[in-house]
Amino acid sequence: MSKEPYTEHEYDVIVIGAGGAGLRAAIEAARQGARTAVITKSLLGKAHTVMAEGGCAASLGNADDRDSWKVHFHDTMKGSKYLADWRMAEIHAKEAPDRVRELEQWGAVFDRTPTHVINQRNFGGHTFPRLAHVGDSTGLEIIRTLQERGIHEGIDMFTEHTVRHLLKEGERVTGCVAYGRVKGDFHAFSAKSVVLATGGITRCWTVCSGSWEYTGDGHALALWAGAELRDMEFVQFHPTGMVWPPSVRGILVTEGVRGEGGRLYNSEQQRFMFDYVPAMFRGDHADTIQESDQWVAEVVSGRQATVRRPPELLTRDVVAKAINAEVKAGRGSPHGGAFLDISHRGKDAILHKLPSMYHQFKELAGVDISEEMMEVGPTAHYVMGGVRVDPQTQETTVPGLFACGEVASGLHGANRLGGNSLSDLIVFGKRAGEHAAKRAKNLAPPPIDEAQVQAAIAEMVEPLERGEGENPGRIYDEMRDMMQAKVGIIRTKHELEEAVDDLRAFKARAQACFPGTDRRYNSGWHQALDLINMADVSMAATLAALTREESRGGHTRDDFPTPDDDHWGQHLNIVWMEEGELKIRQERLEPIRGDLVAVLDEVKAMIKARAEEQGGAR
């Protein structure tokens, strides 16, 4: 093996990823006195978080003072179909308000209430208006705030660098190896703690709302380093992605449209969501169009709702499956979606509250949403599954390795509520940074093991030296089409089994592709490497989907269409890797702590009483 040159670096804490979670973690680590670096595949401020639209959930109680951490905790658990880690849901609900207020003090300028404090909007599954927001570009606001704060905390930023390998010494993680995307050079980092904040995996599907970065790098790095993943079968298909023209298929239409009163219609002009209220939510959504219109009128004028919300605001899994069913029944829109209408709100309100949606449709589809309906359909949006972490410290099952943000798991269970990701990033980003720094305090800088570094570099360089092979772009397109067809929103046993075989074949093809020989900013080379993670992570999702023989939240089996509360309602799938092979086992959920059960009961009683007051339970 010929030796490649590389540059060595030494830090207390390395954060991989510069989205909301990574930046918040790095700020915290630096504030605790740790020498901290951030490594990111893109430039600063470009991470996926920048795309988030609707808002950030926190029970500030500004828009409705009946809100509290308890209601947020309840809503998160219920939305998760009770598979969420209740400790994380508790921490999240309690700490989110402070994290949002802190962002404001770092310069975030959220929309205001008439009383001059942070305004909050309604979103699916949230009992009260809870999402702090800036029009429909909340993610931009949050990432820019953290970026503008982060650059003054003495953090070193390695932008356009991709981490490909975690260094280990025995059981613990001791650093990482990365390549520079611009020059194609190599870097080895010694670190006492490493924080994964690499975001999600949704690029594994053709129709997705994610950026190119969403190739599941962190999930794969964790698997390769011996950490465990959980909940990988739960992929959130957001109900409203653009469906036309083909080149924009999948681009997100924020749930904020429905939060602002958007109505879903089928091709027969029916508000079909009234027919899809699941038993679990029966009684807390409007029964009639009139009731739902009144709710919209009340909340958009800043009053407290006195009636129940429209069924369009059911949780995402429910709405996505409803659209899917309407299309299957032959009542879809011309390009295979449903119609979403916000035009009744008028152009001024739309331009103020949903400006980027207005421009997105105008510029990309030639549709004026203040006059015409949008065509929307499900798009792969978020992965609830991810690296298993300790709820308090965010440390994974491998010492020295932490994870936060979308790459981590536990908070969202079978289904994430909209707005609960941005809050997840700042709550658990901070915790991960804090505990990573704490751990670093008691350790000496680990030595860099040259043999591991050279092995990692050899793996990276190999595709450039193959001389011939397929274009990685082709494999990428085909593999995503396969996942879309066989591990999509509705799954069945035989398709999932086929997907397992297909993924093996795709991985073999990926290991033989040829992206050319150039090391400098060679997009094909980067893709050739990403394909390997995508194959492993897709396999984790497929195995978990195959194993869970029931339907729940973001996982729907055609052959097992109902939830199985007795078994699967009590069990999680855990995936890990041994000698290059993925393994899976089930683990029983731990019963919810007594005082939290009481909290859930208290909130349930409150919601029931309210629903009866507002419209009478069915």
Partner 1 sequence: MSLKGRKQAFRVTRGVGDAAEMEEYEIELDEGMVVLDCVHRIQHEQQPDLAVRWNCKAGKCGSCSAEINGRPRLMCMTRMSDVVAETPAGTPIEIRPMKAFPHVKDLVTDVSWNYEVAQRIAPVKGPEAPNWEFNQAEAHRVQHFRECIECFLCVNTCHVLRDHARFDAFAGPRNLVRLAQYEMHPLDEEDRLPEIKNEFGVEYCNITRCCTEVCPAGIRITDDAIIPLKERVVDRYYDPLQRIWRAITGRKVRM
Beta bridge partners of residue 173, listed in sequence order: 168
Interface with ligand FAD, residue 47, by CB under 6 A: yes
Name the residue nearer to partner 1 (CB basis): 90 or 213: 213
Interface with partner 1, residue 364, by CB under 8 A: yes
Interface with ligand FAD, residue 138, by CB under 6 A: yes
Q: At what angle do helices 138-150 and 86-105 cross, to 10 degrees?
A: 70
Residue 282: both structure tokens together: 């029966």
Interface with partner 1, residue 336, by CB under 8 A: no
Let me know: does 80 contact 415? Beta carbons within 8 Å: yes
Burial of 610 by CB count in 10 Å (0-12 exposed, 13-18 middle, 19+ buried)?
A: middle
Interface with ligand FAD, residue 197, by CB under 6 A: yes
Interface with ligand FAD, residue 175, by CB under 6 A: no
Name the residue nearer to ligand FAD (CB basis): 14 or 307: 14
Q: Binding ligand FAD by CB under 6 A: which of 21, 100, 376, 387?
A: 21
Interface with partner 1, residue 109, by CB under 8 A: yes
User: DSSP state, 445?
Assistant: P
CA distance 576 to 496: 19
Q: Which does 40 bind (CB under 5 to 8 A by kind): ligand FAD, partner 1, none?
A: ligand FAD
CA distance 618 to 615: 9
Interface with ligand FAD, residue 292, by CB under 6 A: no
Name the residue nearer to ligand FAD (CB basis): 18 or 546: 18
> How many helices and strands, by DSSP H and E, does the chain display?
16, 18
Interface with partner 1, residue 372, by CB under 8 A: no
Interface with partner 1, residue 211, by CB under 8 A: yes
Q: At what angle do helices 493-510 and 523-547 cross, to 10 degrees?
A: 150
Name the residue nearer to partner 1 (CB basis): 379 or 573: 379
**Binding mask of the shown chain, residues 402 to 441, with x at each position contacting ligand FAD by CB under 6 A:** ---xxx----------xxxxx--x----------------
Closest separation between CB of residue 114 and partner 1, Å? 8
Q: Binding ligand FAD by CB under 6 A: which of 11, 13, 15, 17?
A: 17
Q: Looking at 130, 263, 316, 557, which residue is catalytic?
A: 316
CA distance 194 to 173: 7
Let me know: does 236 contact 255? Beta carbons within 8 Å: no
Residues 6 or more apart in contact with residue 601 via CB below 8 angstroms: none
Segment contacting ligand FAD by CB under 6 A, of 35-43, 482-490, 539-547, 605-613: 35-43
Backbone angles phi, psi at 137, to 5 degrees: -135, 50
The amino acid occupying position 283 is G
Interface with partner 1, residue 521, by CB under 8 A: yes
Closest separation between CB of residue 219 and ligand FAD, Å? 10
Closest separation between CB of residue 51 and ligand FAD, Å? 4
Residue 601: both structure tokens together: 């009961």
Residue 151: both structure tokens together: 């650059």
Q: Binding ligand FAD by CB under 6 A: which of 59, 209, 236, 614?
A: 209
CA distance 282 to 611: 10
480 is catalytic: no
CA distance 420 to 130: 10
By C-alpha distance, which of 425, 424, 423 is closest to 120? 423
Closest separation between CB of residue 599 and ligand FAD, Å? 23
How many residues contact ligand FAD, by CB under 6 A? 44
Interface with ligand FAD, residue 163, by CB under 6 A: yes
Backbone angles phi, psi at 365, to 5 degrees: -125, -5
The amino acid occupying position 328 is K
Cα angle vertex 421, ends 415, 427, to 5°?
Answer: 125
- CA dist 589 → 85, 396, 555, 582 (Å): 8, 18, 18, 22
Q: Which does 94 bind (CB under 5 to 8 A by kind): partner 1, ligand FAD, none?
A: none
Name the residue nearer to partner 1 (CB basis): 26 or 322: 26
By C-alpha distance, which of 277, 279, 274 is closest to 291? 274
Name the residue nearer to ligand FAD (CB basis): 223 or 407: 407
Residues binding ligand FAD (CB under 6 A): 16-22, 39-42, 47-49, 51-56, 138-139, 162-163, 197-199, 209-210, 213, 217-218, 252, 381-382, 405-407, 418-422, 425
Give me the active site residues, please.
316
Residues binding partner 1 (CB under 8 A): 42-48, 50-51, 98, 101-102, 104-107, 109-112, 116-117, 119, 134-135, 137, 139-141, 144, 148-149, 151-152, 182, 211-213, 244-248, 251-252, 356, 359-360, 363-365, 471-474, 476-477, 514-516, 518, 520-525, 527
